[in-house]
A = this chain, B = another copy of it.
Amino acid sequence: MAPRTEEQELQEMDAWWRAANYLSLGMLYLKDNPLLRSPLSPEHLKKRLLGHWGSDPGQNFVWVHANRLIRRHDLNMIYISGPGHGAPATLSNAYLEGTYTEVYPDRTEDTRGLKNFFRQFSFPGGLGSHCTPETPGSINEGGELGYSLSHAYGAVFDHPDLIAVCVVGDGEAETGPMATSWHSNKFLNPVTDGAVLPILHLNGYKIANPTILARISPEELKSLFVGYGYKPVVVEGDDPAEMHRKMARAMDACLSDLRRIQRNARAQGVPVRAPWPMIILRTPKGWTAPKEMDGHRIEGFFRAHQVPILDAATNPGHLALLEQWFRKYRPEELFDENGTLVPALKALAPKGNRRMSANPLANGGLLRKPLIMPDFREYAVDVSNPGTVEAENTFVMGTFLRDVMKQNPRNFRVFGPDETASNHLQALYEVTKKAWMGETRPEDADGCQLAPDGHVMEMLSEHTLEGWLEGYLLTGRHGLLNTYEAFAHIIDSMVNQHAKWLEKAKTDVSWRAPVSSLNILLSSTVWRQDHNGFTHQDPGFLDVVTNKRASVVRIYLPPDANTLLSVADHCLRSTDYVNVIVADKQPHLQYLDRDAAARHAAKGIGLWEWASNDQGEEPDAVMACCGDVVTLEALAAVAILREKIPDLRIRFVNVVDLFRLQPPSEHPHGLSDRDFDSLFTTDRPIIFNFHGYPWLIHKLAYRRTNHRNLHVRGYKEKGSINTPLQLAIENQIDRFSLAIDVIDRVPRVGVRGAHVKEWLKDQILEHLLYASREGEDPPAITRWKWPF
C-alpha cells in the first residue's frame, strides 16, 4: 500500500474529529438510537438535557492533532483539559481510543456500549460534565477554573521526556490563578524537566459574555503572551479542512521549537530560558453547531455554551435541526454496523500507554515510588528534661527534609511562597536550591540560593505553588507546601477541590492508584504574628479542612520538634490524604525525647505524666492543649498552679492529632468514648488551650460525655501590633488567664484560690505594662522553663 499523503492523513483526522464531535453531542442528547440508525425521535432524547457543547469541538480538534504528533514522534504526552465543563471531549476521545472500554468494560465498543456511554453522561450516578476523577487520562477536574496550567507544569517537572498539552479556556484565562501561572516557564528547566504546550482556546465566550482575551486586538494578545515568555502561533478560522492544515503545521512548528530548546539545553548541559512555543487557537464557540436557530446565532456565540437546542422533544422543527446536526458528522462512515469505530480510524489512535487517555502519568499512583526515608529519629533534639531546652521546630524539620530531598533528588519538591527560609526550613539549601530560570546577577550568589535545577519552588503565588504541587503529586511524585498560616486561606478552594478529587478517587474509582498525600505545613502561625499584626493572624484554614470527608483529611499540631519529626515522617509516607501540619518557626521549649515523641505522635493524644500531679486519681481539673505555643502556656499555667496551690490535682493532656477528638463514628482517628472519658474524665472541668479558633474544638467534641465541662480557649480574632504575651492575653490563651480559668472551675480551692487569682490578675497587668514600655515581653516570660 502506498504511504498516505499528508492530505489523506488530515482527512482521516477530520473523520476522527467528526467521530469525537458526534460522541460529544450524543452525550448531551441521546439515551437511545446512539448511531441514528433510525430517524431521530423524541423518545431517543434524554429528558433532562445537561452538559456543555461550547468547548468540546475545539478540544476534540486539539486531541486529534496531538495524536498525530504522538504517532509521528512516539511522544510521551498527556492532555490537560482546562475549559470548564468540557469533559465530553476527553471522554469521547478516551472512548474512541478504546481506553474507556478497558477501564469500564461494560461500556463496550459497540452500539449497546455506546448507548450506555451516552446515557450515563450527566445522568444520575453517571459522569460529570467536567473531567472528574472517573475520567481516564485526566488529572485536572476543571469544575473550578484556573488551575490547568499550573497542573500541567507540575506534571512535567522532573519528567524530562513528557509533554503536557494544556488547553486553556479563554474563560478560565480570566481567573487570577491562571493569569499568573503563565509565568511558570520561569521555573521550568529544559534539561531536567519536560515541557508544556499551552493552547489558548479562544472560542470567544463564557456563559453569557464575550471573553476579555477574545476582544482585545491581535497585537495586544500576541504582546501579552510574548510578555509572559512564550512564542505564540495563531491558528484561526472555521473551515475544518483549512484549519486541519494550519493546526498540523502549527503543532509541527511548536514541537520542533520545543525540542530545539530542549536539545540545545541538554547538549550544552546549560539550561537557558527561551520563549516556549504556544498556540492561540481561535475557533468559533461550539464549532460545527447549527449556525442559528429561530434567528438566534448559535455557532460562534455564547448560545453554544451549554445545550443549544433545548426543546427538540416538543418542537418538530428543532428536532429536525438537531438530527441534521448529528447527521452532519456522517456517523455511518465512522462506525461499522456493530457500532464500532472503523479500523481506518482506530489506527489513528496511538498505541497502548502512548494514548493520552491511557498514559499512566495521568494515574500517577501507578508510577509512584515511595520515598527513600532517612530515620527521622536521627534528627531529634536532645531532651533530657522536658521543657528546659529550646529549638526552632521547623528548623529541625528542615534538617530532616534536607535528607529526604537528598535521597530522593528527582522525586520530591518543597513549595513555598518566598518563605521557605522565613519558615526556617533553610537546611534544604544545603542539598538543593530554589528553581530559577529567570536572569541571574552576580550578587544573587550571596544568599538567593537560585539554581535552574533547584527543587525548592518559590513564587509569590500560593495558587501556582498549590497547582504545581497537585500536578506533581498526581503524576506520581512527592512534595510539601509550606506557607504562612493566615495566607493558607488563599488556597482554601484549591485544597477543597483537591480533597474532593481524592474523596472520589478513593471511594468510587477503583482503577486509580493511591497518590502521595498533599502535605501542607502551616508555619509563621497566628501566635507568632504579633508583630505583623491582625492581617497575619488567622488559624481558620483548619476549619475549612475539617469540612472535607474524614477519609481524606488529617490535621496535626505537634507541640515540639521531635513530635513534628515523627508527624512529618508519617505524612510523607502516606497516600491519598490532605495532611495539614501546624508548627511554628520560632524557638520553642522541647518536651519529649525522640522515643517519647514518636510514641506520642503515633497515639496522637496523651496524658503527660511529668506535667500532671493527679497520680492516676481523678484530678480536680484537666488541662488540655493542642498546638505548640498553647502547650507552652498551658504548661506554664500548670506550673503556677502547682507552685501556688500544691494540693490542686491537675492532669495534663496534649493533643497532636486533632481528629482524635471526634468520635470514631465521625473520623477513623476518633478516640473511643471510653478512652476519651478516661483521659478527660466524665465530670471534671477541662480547660482546653487550642491553637486555632476555639469553637472548632466544640465542633469536634460536642458529643463527648464531658463536653458540658469543656472550656476552650483559642484565637478570638483579637490582635493588633503586640508582643506574643499581649496577643496571648488578649485572647486569654496565656498562662495567667488559664490558671484563673482553673481556679474559677475548682470550687474547693476557696479563699486560697481567690488570693492566687488576685495575684494572677496583677501579673497580667504588670506583664502588659512591661511589654508596652519595653516593646518586648519580660524575661520571666521569654526565658520561662518548666520548673519541676
Interface residues of A (CB under 8 A from B): 31, 46-48, 50, 122-130, 132, 141, 143-146, 171-172, 174-181, 183, 186, 206-212, 215-217, 219-229, 296-297, 300-303, 418-419, 421-422, 434, 436, 438-441, 443-444, 446-450, 458-464, 486-487, 489-490, 492-493, 496-497, 500, 503-504, 508, 531-536, 538, 540, 543-544, 546-549, 693, 695-696, 698-699, 702, 707, 717, 720-723, 726, 771-772, 774-776
Residues in B with CB closer than 8 Å to A449 are: 208
Residues in B with CB closer than 8 Å to A50 are: 531
Q: Which 9 residue pairs are nearest across A and B when measured between Cβ atoms?
A: A224-B227, A143-B535, A176-B176, A215-B438, A179-B180, A489-B493, A223-B227, A179-B179, A174-B460
CB of A203, distance to nearest CB on chain B (Å): 14
With the chains together, A695 CA to B663 CA distance in Å?
A: 13
CB of A270, distance to nearest CB on chain B (Å): 17
Known: A216-B227, A549-B717. 19 other contacts (CB 8 A): A124-B721, A125-B720, A128-B535, A144-B490, A171-B460, A174-B459, A176-B179, A209-B458, A210-B438, A216-B439, A296-B446, A489-B496, A492-B492, A503-B717, A504-B534, A538-B547, A543-B544, A544-B544, A699-B699
**Copy count, this protein chain:** 2
Residues in B with CB closer than 8 Å to A775 are: 31, 46-48, 123-124
CB of A317, distance to nearest CB on chain B (Å): 19
Known: A171-B418, A224-B223, A538-B496. A129 touches B533 (CB 8 A): yes
With the chains together, A144 CA to B489 CA distance in Å?
A: 11
With the chains together, A438 CA to B461 CA distance in Å?
A: 28
A486, closest chain B residue (CB):
B144
Q: Are A447 and B212 in contact (CB under 8 A)?
A: no
With the chains together, A462 CA to B171 CA distance in Å?
A: 12
Known: A535-B141, A775-B48. A209 touches B296 (CB 8 A): no
CB of A309, distance to nearest CB on chain B (Å): 16
Known: A223-B223, A223-B227, A459-B174. A534 touches B128 (CB 8 A): yes
Residues in B with CB closer than 8 Å to A462 are: 175
Residues in B with CB closer than 8 Å to A172 are: 460
A186, closest chain B residue (CB):
B212
**Sample (30) of A-B pairs whose CB atoms are under 8 Å apart:** A144-B486, A146-B176, A172-B460, A178-B180, A179-B461, A206-B460, A209-B436, A209-B450, A210-B450, A216-B438, A216-B439, A219-B226, A221-B227, A223-B223, A223-B226, A224-B224, A300-B443, A303-B447, A492-B544, A496-B540, A497-B535, A500-B535, A503-B717, A504-B720, A538-B547, A543-B543, A547-B693, A698-B698, A698-B702, A699-B699
Q: Are A463 and B176 in contact (CB under 8 A)?
A: yes
CB of A536, distance to nearest CB on chain B (Å): 6
A536, closest chain B residue (CB):
B143
Q: Are B186 and A180 in contact (CB under 8 A)?
A: no
Q: Are B176 and A487 in contact (CB under 8 A)?
A: no
Residues in B with CB closer than 8 Å to A225 are: 227
Residues in B with CB closer than 8 Å to A210 are: 436, 438-441, 444, 448, 450
With the chains together, A663 CA to B720 CA distance in Å?
A: 26
Residues in B with CB closer than 8 Å to A144 are: 486-487, 490, 535
Q: Are B132 and A772 in contact (CB under 8 A)?
A: no
CB of A184, distance to nearest CB on chain B (Å): 10
Q: Are A124 and B726 in contact (CB under 8 A)?
A: yes
Partner of A489, one of B300, B492, B772: B492
Residues in B with CB closer than 8 Å to A538 are: 496, 547
With the chains together, A212 CA to B130 CA distance in Å?
A: 33
Q: Are A297 and B504 in contact (CB under 8 A)?
A: no
A141, closest chain B residue (CB):
B535
